[in-house]
């Protein structure tokens, strides 16, 4: 009687039953780094990691950006995302104010920061004649350089 060699399936089953060996431990590095190396590492790490804008920085930026009556021409060119610039080019209303006219006054609400999402936002309230108000949400990317409005979502 002639025996057949085991098939691929039987071979894989036999291999999967073998115990798994942990890799040999690597040689340990010295436990203490010299002060010069530690300083270079800390400086390199802080220089390489982008600093995210804080809620306070975003709030001050939004208050300056919107001012009392809306953003300046300079801010509209230099502190707005490309997406908003393109959206503004394709509409008659002001995408940064969610309006057609200049408001009497503008207020910025508290800023919320979502580190995991990389964005901060605040509710912006525009004040109009007749004690009318309107609100929208302005979004700022935490890593934007320079800081700029990334998106605006109108309430209504």
Which residue matches tokens 């800081």? 147
Token pair belonging to 71: 């953003």
E strand or H helix at 83, and its extent? helix 82-89
Query: Domain locations in the chain?
Result: 55-154
The strand pair at 132-141 and 105-114 is best described as: unpaired
- Main-chain dihedrals φ then ψ at residue 15, nearest 5 degrees: -65, -35
Mean pLDDT value across residues 114-118: 96
| CB 52, CB 115: distance < 8 Å | yes
Mean pLDDT value across residues 140-152: 96
Read off the pLDDT of residues 118-140 as tens digits, 9 standing for 90 and up. Answer: 999 999 999 999 999 999 999 99
Residue 141: CB atoms within 10 Å: 19
Check whether 102 has a pLDDT greater than 50. yes
Mean pLDDT value across residues 2-18: 43
Sign of CA dihedral 146, 92, 98, 100: positive
Token pair belonging to 20: 């798994």
* pLDDT score at 51: 83
Does residue 25 or residue 71 have the better pLDDT?
Answer: 71
| 129 DSSP 8-state letter | G
* pLDDT score at 17: 46
Q: Which of 58, 77, 71 is nearest to 123 (CA)?
A: 58
- Grouping H, G, I as helix, E, B as strand and the rest as coil, residue 57 is helix
Token pair belonging to 96: 């940064």
For 65, counting Cβ atoms within 10 Å of its Cβ (0-12 exposed, 13-18 middle, 19+ buried), the class is buried
Token pair belonging to 92: 């008659």
Chosen CATH of 55-154 out of 3.40.50, 3.10.450, 3.40.1350, 1.20.120: 3.10.450
For 134, counting Cβ atoms within 10 Å of its Cβ (0-12 exposed, 13-18 middle, 19+ buried), the class is middle
pTM of the predicted structure, to 2 decimals: 0.68
């Amino acid at each position: 009687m002639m025996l057949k060699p085991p098939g691929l399936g039987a071979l894989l089953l036999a291999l999967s039953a073998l115990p798994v060996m942990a890799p040999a431990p690597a040689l340990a590095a010295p436990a203490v780094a010299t002060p010069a190396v530690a300083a270079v590492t800390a400086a390199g790490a802080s220089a390489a990691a982008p600093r995210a804008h804080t809620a306070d920085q975003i709030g001050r930026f939004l208050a300056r950006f919107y001012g009392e009556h809306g953003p300046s021409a300079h801010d509209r060119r230099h502190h707005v995302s490309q997406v908003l610039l393109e959206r503004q080019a394709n509409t008659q209303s002001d995408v940064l104010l969610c309006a057609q006219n200049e408001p009497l006054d503008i207020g910025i609400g508290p800023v919320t920061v979502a580190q995991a999402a990389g964005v901060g936002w605040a509710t912006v309230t525009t004040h109009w004649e007749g004690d009318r108000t309107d609100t929208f949400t302005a979004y700022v990317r935490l890593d934007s350089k320079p800081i700029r409005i990334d998106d605006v979502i109108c309430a209504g």
